[in-house]
Structure 1
């Protein structure tokens, strides 16, 4: 059964906790979403608060995918670029699908929904994202239409002796 996507859902305690649980579960399953396992909700909470604050200030938008049980199963944040020469594209951040839903095509559905959401923003011509190398994520994003436009070798230190590339990809919308 497909996910139901909502852009800018009401931020209720249930939604906040659902995103927090998703982020924790994805991180602990090895997902490249800003943390390295093991983490708990309290380690992730301050980062979620930053995203929620940016949403309240109109700088970020939240796309949420709910599964058939109404649980938060996928998320992505879209962040407007505030540099006056770069306001024609948005960043896509914290792209997550719950580990129990991996392999169902929900990641591709999330990426399509994020692109559709960005197309609805005035003046937006592209979506840009970055990902951690070493996991094959760039191949997944390429299969969703993104093109690699930059790579900084060994920019992300996952652990001592484990440095990964920071890969930037772009999806033109026009």
Structure 2
């Protein structure tokens, strides 16, 4: 069954806890969403609170995918670029699909929902995101229409002696 996507859902305790659980589960499965395993919900909570604050201030928007039970199964945060010369594109970050739902095309569905969400925004011509090298994510994003437009070798230190590239991907909307 397909996920149901919602942009800017009401931030309830259930949504907050669902995103927190998703983030911990994705991180502990090896997902490259800002943490390395093992992590707990308490480790992630401060970062989620920063995201929720940015949402409350209108700087960030949340796209949520729910499974057939209503559980949070996928998320992506969308941020407008505030630099006056770069307001024609948005950032997509903390892109997650629950490990139990991977392999079903939900990642593609999430990216397509993000594209639909921002394509109607005034003046937005592209979506940018970054991903951690060494995981194959750049191939996945490329298969969804994103193009690699930049790479900083060794910019992400996952562990001592394990540095990964920081890869910037772009999806033109025009």
Q: How does 1:13-162 map to 2 (within 5 A)?
A: 13-162=13-162
In 2: Cα distance, 1:85 partner to 1:15 partner: 34
In 2: Cα distance, 1:93 partner to 1:118 partner: 14
In 1: Cα distance, 2:27 partner to 2:166 partner: 18
Which range is displaced more, 27-36 or 120-129? 120-129
Describe the superposition over 1:111-143 as per-residue Cα deviations: whole angstroms up to 9, x where unpaired.
000111111221110000000000000000000
Structure 2: which 5+ residue stretches go unaligned?
Answer: none
In 1: Cα distance, 2:25 partner to 2:108 partner: 19
Describe the superposition over 1:76-120 as per-residue Cα deviations: whole angstroms up to 9, x where unpaired.
000110001001000000000000001000000000001111112
| TM-score normalised over the length of structure 2 | 0.99
SS of residue paired to 1:38? coil
In 2: Cα distance, 1:22 partner to 1:84 partner: 34
SS of residue paired to 2:87? coil
In 2: Cα distance, 1:62 partner to 1:120 partner: 16
SS of residue paired to 1:150? strand
Structure 1: which 5+ residue stretches go unaligned?
Answer: none
SS of residue paired to 1:109? helix
Instruction: Report the aligned-residue RMSD.
Output: 0.4
| TM-score normalised over the length of structure 1 | 0.99
